[in-house]
């Protein structure tokens, strides 16, 4: 009987011990979903072996994560898109070889990188800042592979055109900065915005869970079921920065930035790869043809059943395509491929 009571007491004690972290998690999920999102990114960086560092450049600070050391393969620098951050790449980094030297930097003004003024947020301004980062961390001691998605693709392309000796190859994922032959759902939103003199809400700058869900549907062909609390957490994380995002948005839509990539395509000399989701509703996949016509030797990989958020929707496939491109450089000519 005493043994049975001891067992009951032990089970009660164990249950109470387990209940504390479970209740704490539930309370955090309900009350502070934004905190859980930050913990999620911290956990995955740690799991994938990425370390966060800062690079100080004369009063300007860059935040970046990295893994590995320079080796036989070129280092890879990744530039995220509008209103995103360095952790955008975590899903894809998971499928890249661990020995590669990888750097994911927060773009100017985003996340942990210094926020200054609009001059730094134009495409040319961002290119100058990223070059400052590259020099500070001495990434350009030998040519590196540059990857950019969306706005980051625009910046990456102009960077490759501006500093050709630093780039050994480049991958553009659904890049902005092109005059697309075909319009998208987002283009229609832009036209409505322009007609309203930008008094309407911008689809890429959500301020409610409902607007966040609409943005995710716009950016992703794959439909993810996201709990309301997580949507609220995503909004809570972004909301304090929405004025900044609007400033950047207006700057990259400006006359000197909107088509910066296309205006600089002819200056790109490094081998180039384009990866595009065929169901992209933000920047139309017809932009891949524009790039291929300007640079006949480039490689174009089109992904079926994939939207604008290629890195999130098809991380394994994207990582594989980038590695195939890097490994095969110098052995293949320009091709356009479709992938399921």
Which residue in 75, 122, 150, 169 is the catalytic one? 150
Which residue in 280, 284, 301, 309 is the catalytic one? 280
Smallest CA-to-CA distance from 115 within 124, 126, 104 is with: 126
Strands 102-105, 144-149: pairing kind: unpaired
Which residue in 65, 87, 308, 309 is the catalytic one? 308
Tokens describing residue 266: 């002819």
Tokens 């661990």, residue located: 98
Tokens describing residue 56: 């100080």
Active-site residue, 150 included: yes
Half-sphere exposure of 52 (CA within 13 A, CB side): 18
Which residues lie below 8 Å from residue 157, measured CB to CB, with a gap of 6+? 148, 170, 172, 175, 177, 260, 261, 264, 265, 268
Burial letters for 299-315: b for 16+ Cβ neighbours within 10 Å, e otherwise?
bbbbbeebbbbbbbbbb
Active-site residue, 284 included: no
Give me the count of residues in the chain.
Answer: 340
Distance CA 291, CA 298 (A): 8
- Angle CA(137)–CA(140)–CA(146) in degrees, nearest 5? 100
Active-site residue, 241 included: no
Catalytic annotation, residues:
150, 280, 308
């Amino acid at each position: 009987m005493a043994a049975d009571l001891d067992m009951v007491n032990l089970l009660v004690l164990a249950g109470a011990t387990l209940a504390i972290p479970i209740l704490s998690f539930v309370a955090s999920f309900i009350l502070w979903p934004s905190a859980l999102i930050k913990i999620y990114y911290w956990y995955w960086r740690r799991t994938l072996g990425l370390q966060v560092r800062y690079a100080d450049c004369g009063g300007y600070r860059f935040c970046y994560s990295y893994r590995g050391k320079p080796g036989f393969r070129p280092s890879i620098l990744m530039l995220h898109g509008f209103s995103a951050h360095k952790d955008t790449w975590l899903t894809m980094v998971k499928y890249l070889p661990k020995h590669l030297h990888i750097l994911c930097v927060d773009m100017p003004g985003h996340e942990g990188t210094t926020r200054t003024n609009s001059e730094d947020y134009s495409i040319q301004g961002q290119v100058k800042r990223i070059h400052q980062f590259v020099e500070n961390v001495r990434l350009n001691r030998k040519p590196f592979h540059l990857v950019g998605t969306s706005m980051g693709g625009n910046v990456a392309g102009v960077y490759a055109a501006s500093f050709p000796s630093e780039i050994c190859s480049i991958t553009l994922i659904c890049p902005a900065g092109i005059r697309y032959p075909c319009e998208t759902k987002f283009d229609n939103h832009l036209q409505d915005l322009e007609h309203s003199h930008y008094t309407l809400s911008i689809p890429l700058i959500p301020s409610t869970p409902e607007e966040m869900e609409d943005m995710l549907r716009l950016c992703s062909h794959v439909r993810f079921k996201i709990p309301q609390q997580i949507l609220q957490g995503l909004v809570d994380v972004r909301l304090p920065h929405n004025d900044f995002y609007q400033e950047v948005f207006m700057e990259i839509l400006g006359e000197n930035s909107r088509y910066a990539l296309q205006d600089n395509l002819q200056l790109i000399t490094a081998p180039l790869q384009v990866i595009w989701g065929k169901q992209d509703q933000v920047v139309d996949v017809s932009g891949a043809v524009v790039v291929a016509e300007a640079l006949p030797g480039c490689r174009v990989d089109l992904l079926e059943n994939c939207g604008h958020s290629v890195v999130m929707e098809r991380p394994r496939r994207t990582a594989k395509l980038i590695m195939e491109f890097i490994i095969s450089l110098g052995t293949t000519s320009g091709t356009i491929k479709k992938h399921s």
